[in-house]
Amino acid sequence: MQSLGLDVGGANTKAVLLKDGEIQKHWLKYLPLWKDKKALDYFLNVLAKSARPNVVGATLTGELCDVFSSRREGVVEIVEAVCNAFGDEICLFMSLDGTLLTRDQSLTSLQKLAAANWVASTLVVGKKYPNCLFIDVGSTTTDIIPVRRGKPVPIGHTDLQRLMASELVYMGVLRTPLPCICSEVSLSGGKIGVAAENFAIAADIYRVLGMIKEGDYTCETPDGGEKDRKGCMQRIARVFCSDVEEIGEEQILEASKIFHDKQTNHVAGALKKVIRLYRIPRSTKIVMAGLGRMILAEKAARAAGFNEIIDLATIYGEEAALMTPAFSAGLLATGAFEHGCRD
């Protein structure tokens, strides 16, 4: 039997097609809902005809997008978009309490569906590692979730609560604007302020540092320019109100390393706070996922004193590690379908 896992975000929609629990195909589509939310309908309809799943498991984070007047409105529109494409009878939605809900159940429990993608991920990770700390570093955000006895046990459940507990860090390795990482850097010429403009993003520094490939740079560039090293350097120079000719490639490379260190420190700081709140021993296994797992998660975990760090790709493969919520939602939907139980 075939199941499809969906992770519908505000910027990216990810889909993983599984057959008997094994990945057959995967899709990552940059769909900025704030520009054209109808593009999601089109993509889902094309996907439905191509994948033809027996069951669909979906997680949502796109409801926060400012194209919607409220998160409730966003949840309703995304649930309806998924069900319209695939059919009400085969669609299940992950909730914050770990249950899979039908369309009708979802529409009467809207707050339970908002930003529940981390729940799907940790339920699947918890089957392999019942007691661990899960870190997922994506294009936009970072999740830090304690898992005990196979279940997620965060202090916060909503995004607001998780931000307060540092279980959600609103930083990723692609879309984060550089001035959100730090306001100044120290280069050979002294301290330089960072312009509070969206001139460059994290993807630019990681392209310059060789940590991501051009194909990994899936979002738009701030200036609509190229995603090659030259284009990225031009954008980084602009955050210093300069250009490559004036500031020089060597200084841009050095600044990129500093931005990387600063962003790592942000994640490490959040990780240390979670450790304190839960009194988590450093002997706990770290399970890491997401595009930024090797860029930020591993480095932050080692800075926080952890030694046993597991790459989810070694367990489920690269696609599962890159699209963990979608992969997990598909797996969990398979189990619900086979047991004839939806909640």
* Residue 337 confidence (pLDDT): 76
H or E segment at 274? helix 249-278
Cα-flanking dihedrals φ and ψ of residue 299, to 5°? -65, -40
CATH level 3 topology of 122-311: Nucleotidyltransferase; domain 5 (3.30.420)
CATH 3.30.420.40 range(s) for the chain read: 2-115+319-338
pLDDT, tens digit, 9 for 90 and up, residues 298-313? 999 999 999 999 999 9
CATH 3.30.420.190 range(s) for the chain read: 122-311
Q: Note whether 108 and 343 are within 8 A (CB).
A: no
* Residue 340 confidence (pLDDT): 67
- Residues shown for the chain: 343
- DSSP strands (E only) in the chain: 2-8, 12-19, 22-30, 55-60, 91-94, 100-101, 132-137, 142-148, 151-152, 168-169, 184-187, 190-193, 285-289, 309-311
pLDDT, tens digit, 9 for 90 and up, residues 252-291? 999 999 999 999 999 999 999 999 999 999 999 999 999 9
Say which DSSP state 201 is in: B
User: What CATH number should be reported for the domain whose range is 2-115+319-338?
Assistant: 3.30.420.40
Q: Note whether 198 and 222 are within 8 A (CB).
A: yes
* Residue 98 confidence (pLDDT): 95
H or E segment at 252? helix 249-278
* Residue 343 confidence (pLDDT): 43
Strand partners, 143: 136, 168
The Cα-based distances of 44 to 3, 40, 101, 281 in angstroms read: 15, 6, 19, 43
- Interhelix angle 324-338/117-128, rounded to 10 degrees, is 70
Q: What is the pTM of this model?
A: 0.95
pLDDT one digit per residue (tens) for the chain, 343 residues: 899 999 999 999 999 999 988 999 999 999 999 999 999 999 999 999 999 999 999 999 999 999 999 999 999 999 999 999 999 999 999 999 999 999 999 999 998 999 999 999 999 999 999 999 999 999 999 999 999 999 999 999 999 999 999 999 999 999 999 999 999 999 987 899 999 999 999 999 999 999 999 999 999 999 999 999 999 999 999 999 999 999 999 999 999 999 999 999 999 999 999 999 999 999 999 999 999 999 999 999 999 999 999 999 999 999 999 999 999 999 999 988 777 644 4
